[in-house]
Amino acid sequence: MSQMTPRERIQTFFRKEPVDTMPCFSGMGMVTIQAIEQMGIRFAQVHATAEYLAKSAMITAEMFGFDSVVIPYDMCTVPEALGCGASLYEDAEGILYPTVPNKWPSMDDIEIPKDFLSKGRMPVVDEAFRILLSQANGKFAVGGWVLGPFTMAGQIIELDLLLKGVRKERDKVVSFLDKMTDLVIEVAKHYQKLGVDYMNIREMGSGTDLLSPKMWKDLIQPNLVKIFEAIESPKILHICGSTDLIIEMMNECGADALSVDQKNNVAESRKKLGNDVLILGNFDPFGTLAKMGSSEVEGVIKKCIDDGVDAVWPGCDIWPDVKKENVEAYVKAVRQYGKAPSPAVGRI
Amino acid sequence: MGIEQRREELLKALSDGVVDMDEEKVKEAAQAVVDEGFNAYDAVMNGLAAGMEIVGELYDKQEYFVPELLMCADALYAGLDILKPHIKLEDLGDKVKGQVVIGTVQGDVHDIGKNIVKMMFEVAGFTVHDLGRDVPLEKFVEEQLRTDSDIVAMSAMMTTTMLGMKKVIEMIKEKNPNVAIMLGGAPVTKETADLFGADGYAESAGNAVQEAIKMISQLRKMHADNRESS
């Protein structure tokens, strides 16, 4: 059989059917500074213009041979649409990701504006998706993502209110997380309606660096189950930080694949979950692509595959200021060691 | 009841109150320390801080997580608010001069770890100049120069904001090589701290507590030695 297009490869991969080779992709931002510079703009300018978002994603994918494009790059689009603002740091030198300046002071009286999908930069992201979907043409899959309800909550109210709340005012937190869950479903469904090829739910702030496994089961899992029931496949659950203690519970949420970062012991997770579960991960994107010598990259990627991932994913957004030769070494290693079947996905 | 026995009882109540996240218990014991004329500094170091040391161990053993840390910190503050006005300058010795500039660097709005480290500095008797969060880099340099602080403590939760720390360290060390720099935050490793020329580091809120507790433990030991020798 002839070679698959990146889009076919990823679609087939998520159905756990044999592919020609391991796709080289992610469910988080993959934009690089090399693409931004080629466009003659700065990183701070990329977030508010549909053309810039779409173009920077495509130039990056073409430059390095990624199978996917993923937008947006920052985690403030939804909070901004809810009225919390966004600091884009347009005057700062260097790369800073946007942050949320005006979080809500309490969990009380939360009203999600009905028309939030048309507010802030939401229409910009929609337009960028439309551009990508119309121009991707099989050359790459278009990935979308939304923060999970707990992480979204932490972007909208002060994290310490939320964290103390889980002990002090459990009922209030539960009902707040309910609202966040509905919000996440609405955004994810919206992007699926636009036609994204896969949807990643990033419940990043819920690892056991912050919450106990017991609390995770009590407060996080039920909402994730609800989300994965509501949205369509392919759908991925990503959690970064410490996930060894919750990986089995993550697998009960109904996602088609689990994504973890470098803190997860994937070899152990693979043993716990068996060979039928899609595991994505788990290299440290900053350490591997921005910091280490390019000759060390191959070993990092090979270890991910040897440990038992089905596709090599960075543990988080790629830090844009990568070393070009490191990204090239990463893609090359995925292609080289990804020819063989992975635990859950065979080869044609 | 003997005075020493009563002292032990109050110290235990303070420590237990912090560990059990019981603000009321801590307040009651702290008030008793003041009303009954016990040494407030002793109560902070060997009651509240000793409790926080146990909290650090529980976090290490994954019995406590960040929500619990925050509740324990609230309990500690409840006691500190009562005890602090009663700490005598001679108890603090040289440390009364200790000043620290603290904040999270621009691009980062997360400040849980920073606030816990701040608390431990306050427990240790430092004057803390808290710049808050999302702080432009040059502000750290300005504030250090303005206050002549001994320590600059910077935190970043995101890799992406960590890189700003390097610039601040260079700027500060250039102007005043004797300032100690502490870095904290999830992406900060020992290696990065060394690379950036920092003097100490902590990689998470929990780890920050551990680092800060080590510092406090040293002070507590010195304090105990002083008690014995005096």
pLDDT digits (tens, 9 = 90+) for A298-311: 999 999 999 999 99
A229 burial level (CB within 10 Å; 0-12, 13-18, 19+): exposed
Report how far residue A96's alpha carbon sits from residue A205's, in angstroms, rounded to the nearest whole number.
Answer: 19
CB within 8 A of A43, min separation 6: which ones?
A33, A36, A95, A96, A320
- CB atoms near residue A331 (< 10 Å): 18
| Residue at B164: amino acid letter | G
Nearest to B110 among A95, A97, A159 (CB): A159
Nearest CB neighbour to A164, from listed B62, B70, B164: B70
Alpha-carbon distance of B154 to B114, in angstroms, equals 8
Is B187's CB within 8 Å of A286's CB?
Answer: yes
* A217-271 pLDDT tens trace: 999 999 999 999 999 999 999 999 899 999 999 999 999 999 999 999 999 999 9
pLDDT along chain B (230 residues), means of 10: 93 97 97 96 92 87 89 94 88 68 84 82 86 90 90 73 76 83 64 60 55 60 55
Predicted pLDDT at B230: 45
What is the C-alpha to C-alpha distance for residues A342 and A177, in angstroms, rounded to an integer? Answer: 36
Indicate the Cα dihedral angle A17, A23, A28, A33, nearest 10°.
-170
**How many CB atoms lie under 10 A from the CB of residue B140?**
29
pLDDT mean across residues, chain A: 94
Over residues A185-197, the mean pLDDT reads: 98
What is the set of domains in chain B, with CATH numbers? Answer: 3-87 (1.10.1240.10), 94-209 (3.40.50.280)
Q: Say yes or no for a CB contact (<8 Å) between A211 and B66.
A: yes
In chain A, which residue's Cα lies nearest the Cα of B116?
A160
Instruction: Output the six-digit token pair for A93.
Output: 């030198």
Interior CA angle at B113 toward B207 and A263, to 5°?
50
**Which residues make beta-bridge pairs with B155?**
B104, B184
Rounded to an integer, what distance in angstroms lies between the CA atom of residue A57 and that of residue A70? 7
Cα–Cα distance, B147 to A189 (Å, whole number): 53
At residue A20, the pLDDT reads 96
Q: What pLDDT, on the 0 to 100 scale, is given for residue A336? A: 96
**What are the Cα distances from residue A238, in Å, to A108, A226, A313, B123?**
29, 16, 10, 38
Q: Which two tokens stand for residue A279?
A: 């595991």
CA atoms within 13 A on the CB side of A181: 18
ipTM: 0.86
CB contact under 8 A, A89 and B106: yes
* Distance between A238 CA and the closest CA of chain B, angstroms: 17
CA-to-CA dists, residue B221 to A134, B50, B217, angstroms: 68, 11, 6
Out of B67, B159, B206, closest to residue A167 by CB: B67
Residue A329: HSE in the Cβ half-sphere, 13 Å Cα cutoff: 20
Residue A95 has pLDDT above 90, yes or no: no
Q: How far is B104 from chain A (nearest CA, A)?
A: 13
The CA distance from A285 to the nearest CA of chain B, in Å, is: 10
Which pLDDT value is given to residue A1? 47
How far is Cα A301 from Cα A282, in angstroms, rounded to an integer? 9
Q: Residue B105's pLDDT is what?
A: 84
How high is the pLDDT of residue B185?
63
Q: What are the C-alpha distances in Å from A275 to residues A12, A128, A236, A266, A280? A: 17, 36, 17, 12, 13
Residue B32 sits at φ, ψ, to 5 deg, of -65, -40
Which class is A6-337 in CATH?
Answer: alpha beta
Q: Which residue's structure tokens are 């939360």?
A: A110
Domain range summary for chain A, segments of one domain joined by +: 6-337
Contact status, residue A242 vs residue A221, Cβ threshold 8 Å: no
**Nearest one of A57, A69, A78 to A143, comparing CA atoms:** A69
Terminal alpha carbon distance of chain A: 8
Q: DSSP assignment of chain B, as one string?
A: --HHHHHHHHHHHHHHHHHTT-HHHHHHHHHHHHHTT--HHHHIIIIIHHHHHHHHHHHHTTSS-HHHHHHHHHHHHHHHHHHGGG--HHHHGGGGG-EEEEEEBTT----HHHHHHHHHHHHTT-EEEE--SSB-HHHHHHHHHHHT-SEEEEE-SSHHHHHHHHHHHHHHHHH-TT-EEEEESTT--HHHHHHHT-SEEESSHHHHHHHHHHHHHHHHHHHHHHHHH-
- Is B109–A100 a contact, with Cβ atoms under 8 angstroms apart? yes
Closest CA to A121 of A27, A195, A52: A52
